Amino acid sequence: MNAQGQPALRTTAIWVVSVPVVPLLLLNAFMLLWFLPELTSWGTAGNEGHQYLWLLVFVLTGAAAVCLILAWLRRHRSARWWLWLLAAPLLITVSLPAMNGL
Protein backbone atom coordinates (compact mmCIF):
# COMPACT_ATOMS: atom_id res chain seq x y z
CA MET A 1 0.00 0.00 0.00
CA ASN A 2 1.32 3.42 -0.83
CA ALA A 3 1.97 6.12 1.71
CA GLN A 4 -1.00 8.19 0.60
CA GLY A 5 -3.47 5.36 1.23
CA GLN A 6 -2.48 4.80 4.83
CA PRO A 7 -3.83 8.07 6.29
CA ALA A 8 -7.19 7.39 4.64
CA LEU A 9 -7.25 3.87 6.05
CA ARG A 10 -6.29 5.15 9.48
CA THR A 11 -8.95 7.85 9.39
CA THR A 12 -11.55 5.26 8.40
CA ALA A 13 -10.46 2.98 11.26
CA ILE A 14 -10.70 5.85 13.74
CA TRP A 15 -14.18 6.75 12.46
CA VAL A 16 -15.29 3.13 12.87
CA VAL A 17 -14.10 3.12 16.47
CA SER A 18 -15.37 6.63 17.23
CA VAL A 19 -18.96 5.91 16.19
CA PRO A 20 -19.70 3.62 19.17
CA VAL A 21 -17.16 5.12 21.60
CA VAL A 22 -18.34 8.75 21.50
CA PRO A 23 -21.95 7.94 22.53
CA LEU A 24 -20.63 5.73 25.32
CA LEU A 25 -18.37 8.55 26.49
CA LEU A 26 -21.37 10.88 26.51
CA LEU A 27 -23.43 8.29 28.41
CA ASN A 28 -20.67 7.94 31.01
CA ALA A 29 -20.43 11.73 31.35
CA PHE A 30 -24.20 11.99 31.79
CA MET A 31 -24.24 9.23 34.40
CA LEU A 32 -21.33 10.82 36.25
CA LEU A 33 -23.24 14.10 36.41
CA TRP A 34 -26.42 12.27 37.41
CA PHE A 35 -24.77 10.54 40.37
CA LEU A 36 -22.66 13.54 41.42
CA PRO A 37 -25.14 14.65 44.14
CA GLU A 38 -24.63 11.32 45.88
CA LEU A 39 -21.05 12.33 46.55
CA THR A 40 -22.14 15.29 48.63
CA SER A 41 -23.82 12.99 51.19
CA TRP A 42 -20.79 11.06 52.38
CA GLY A 43 -22.33 9.66 55.54
CA THR A 44 -25.64 8.26 54.29
CA ALA A 45 -26.44 4.57 54.53
CA GLY A 46 -26.04 2.55 51.36
CA ASN A 47 -23.52 4.97 49.90
CA GLU A 48 -20.30 3.35 51.12
CA GLY A 49 -18.66 2.27 47.87
CA HIS A 50 -20.29 4.70 45.46
CA GLN A 51 -17.64 7.37 45.88
CA TYR A 52 -14.89 4.99 44.78
CA LEU A 53 -16.94 3.64 41.88
CA TRP A 54 -17.72 7.18 40.77
CA LEU A 55 -14.03 8.08 40.91
CA LEU A 56 -13.08 4.92 39.01
CA VAL A 57 -15.61 5.62 36.25
CA PHE A 58 -14.46 9.26 36.10
CA VAL A 59 -10.82 8.25 35.63
CA LEU A 60 -11.63 5.57 33.04
CA THR A 61 -13.92 7.89 31.09
CA GLY A 62 -11.35 10.69 31.09
CA ALA A 63 -8.60 8.29 30.01
CA ALA A 64 -10.79 6.93 27.18
CA ALA A 65 -11.52 10.46 25.98
CA VAL A 66 -7.83 11.34 26.01
CA CYS A 67 -6.97 8.14 24.11
CA LEU A 68 -9.58 8.86 21.45
CA ILE A 69 -8.34 12.43 21.04
CA LEU A 70 -4.74 11.22 20.78
CA ALA A 71 -5.77 8.63 18.19
CA TRP A 72 -7.26 11.42 16.07
CA LEU A 73 -4.22 13.66 16.54
CA ARG A 74 -1.61 10.97 15.87
CA ARG A 75 -3.29 9.26 12.90
CA HIS A 76 -0.87 10.81 10.39
CA ARG A 77 2.22 9.59 12.22
CA SER A 78 3.67 6.21 11.47
CA ALA A 79 4.59 4.93 14.90
CA ARG A 80 2.03 3.25 17.14
CA TRP A 81 -1.02 5.36 16.35
CA TRP A 82 -3.22 2.29 16.76
CA LEU A 83 -2.46 1.81 20.47
CA TRP A 84 -4.54 4.88 21.29
CA LEU A 85 -7.30 3.58 19.07
CA LEU A 86 -7.46 0.25 20.90
CA ALA A 87 -7.19 1.79 24.36
CA ALA A 88 -10.31 4.00 24.06
CA PRO A 89 -12.92 1.23 23.62
CA LEU A 90 -11.05 -0.98 26.07
CA LEU A 91 -11.25 1.68 28.79
CA ILE A 92 -14.94 2.29 28.10
CA THR A 93 -15.61 -1.46 28.25
CA VAL A 94 -13.80 -1.71 31.59
CA SER A 95 -15.83 1.20 32.97
CA LEU A 96 -19.24 -0.36 32.18
CA PRO A 97 -19.34 -2.85 35.12
CA ALA A 98 -18.36 -0.06 37.50
CA MET A 99 -21.06 2.14 35.95
CA ASN A 100 -23.64 -0.56 36.69
CA GLY A 101 -22.54 -0.46 40.33
CA LEU A 102 -23.47 3.20 40.63
* Better-predicted residue by pLDDT, 101 or 44: 101
Q: Does residue 36 lie within any of the structural domains?
A: no
Asked whether residue 18 is domain-assigned, the answer is no
Alpha carbon of 12 to those of 4, 6, 60: distances in Å? 13, 10, 25
Report if pTM > 0.95: no
pLDDT tens digits, one per residue of 72-93 = 888 877 777 788 889 999 999 9
Residue 50 CB contacts under 8 Å (≥ 6 apart), including other chains: 35, 38, 39, 101, 102
The mean per-residue pLDDT over the stretch 5-25 comes to 87
Asked whether residue 15 carries a pLDDT value surpassing 80, the answer given is yes
> Residue 93: inside a domain, yes or no?
yes
Work out the average pLDDT over 46-63. 84
Domain that holds residue 71: 51-102
